[in-house]
């Protein structure tokens, strides 16, 4: 299939935009769509695209942990994380295009995502310890707290999606038309979008700016964690056993 034909088919095979932030809807998914079409053109498999995503993200994480912060490093880390995130969107789109979605591929994708989230905050902790002139040792707890919140949001959302019954409704009844995605919700979700989180690493050239930006995002994510956990538990508690 030619690149243009693959791109056109992918435009019509997108996942729902409900619960997706503006960044993922208008930046990451479209970029991932182009990467998926290009990957299809050169014969890559979805799992290979997942591993390419892991390679970009892993290189950025390693650079963050091993290299003294500077403005060139800030750009390199951001680009590695952002490109890795775009390939993370491309693997699922490529699987749908090739009609090769599989449990193994989904497992690999989620394992890579979990490893990326965990390792990235660990790398921030290492960088704080090795290179930063912190106001106090208590700042070393910040990446651990952010890691805790990020992993719980990721795993909690994933489990909620898996535990919700699929295709609920009366037998033979026509499915209710889906409500259009809320733009207000898409804006509100920006602070917990991984693509927006990647932007904070553009501040790595300044210790003060990065500390402030990272701390602010942590505080927002901690608030979202509480809200998400209450919402997800309430939704699952409302499910009645058949």
What's the mean pLDDT in 127-155?
96
Does residue 168 register a pLDDT over 50?
A: no
Nearest-Å Rg of the Cα atoms of the chain is: 19
Burial of 89 (0-12, 13-18, 19+ CB in 10 A): buried
Q: Give 200's DSSP letter.
A: G
Q: Which residue has the higher pLDDT, 138 or 185?
A: 138
Q: Which pLDDT score is estimated for 174?
A: 45
**Cβ(167)–Cβ(242) below 8 Å:** no
What's the mean pLDDT in 189-207?
93
Length of the chain: 242
Superfamily of domain 3-162+183-237: CDP-alcohol phosphotransferase transmembrane (TM) domain (1.20.120.1760)
Give the model confidence (pLDDT) of 35-90 as tens digits. Answer: 998 998 899 999 999 999 999 999 999 999 999 999 999 999 999 999 999 999 99
Q: Name the pLDDT band for 21 (thresholds 50, 70, 90).
A: confident
Q: Which pLDDT score is estimated for 90?
A: 93
Give the model confidence (pLDDT) of 96-127 as tens digits. Answer: 888 888 899 999 999 999 999 999 999 999 99
Q: Which residue has the higher pLDDT, 174 or 241?
A: 241
**Cβ(150)–Cβ(223) below 8 Å:** no
Domain-wise residue ranges, the chain: 3-162+183-237
């Amino acid at each position: 299939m030619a690149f243009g034909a693959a791109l056109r088919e992918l435009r019509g095979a997108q996942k729902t935009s409900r619960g997706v932030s503006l960044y993922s809807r208008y930046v990451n998914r479209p970029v991932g769509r182009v990467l998926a079409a290009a990957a299809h053109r050169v014969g890559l498999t979805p799992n290979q695209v997942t591993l390419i995503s892991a390679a970009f993200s892993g290189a950025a994480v390693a650079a963050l942990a091993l290299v003294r912060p500077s403005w060139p490093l800030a750009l390199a880390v951001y680009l590695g994380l952002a490109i890795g995130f775009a390939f993370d969107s491309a693997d699922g789109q490529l699987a749908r295009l090739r009609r090769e979605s599989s449990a193994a591929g989904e497992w690999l994708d989620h394992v890579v995502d979990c490893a990326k989230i965990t390792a990235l905050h660990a790398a921030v902790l290492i960088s704080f310890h090795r290179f930063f002139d912190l106001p106090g040792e208590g700042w070393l707890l910040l990446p651990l707290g952010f890691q805790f919140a990020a992993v719980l949001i990721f795993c909690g959302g994933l489990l909620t999606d898996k535990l919700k019954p699929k295709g609920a409704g009366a037998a033979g009844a026509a499915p209710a038309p889906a409500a259009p995605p809320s733009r207000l919700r898409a804006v509100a979700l920006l602070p917990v979008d991984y693509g927006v989180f990647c932007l904070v690493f553009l501040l790595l050239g300044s210790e003060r700016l990065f500390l402030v930006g990272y701390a602010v995002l942590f505080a927002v994510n901690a608030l979202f964690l509480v809200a998400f956990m209450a919402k997800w538990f309430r939704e699952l508690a409302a499910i009645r056993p058949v």
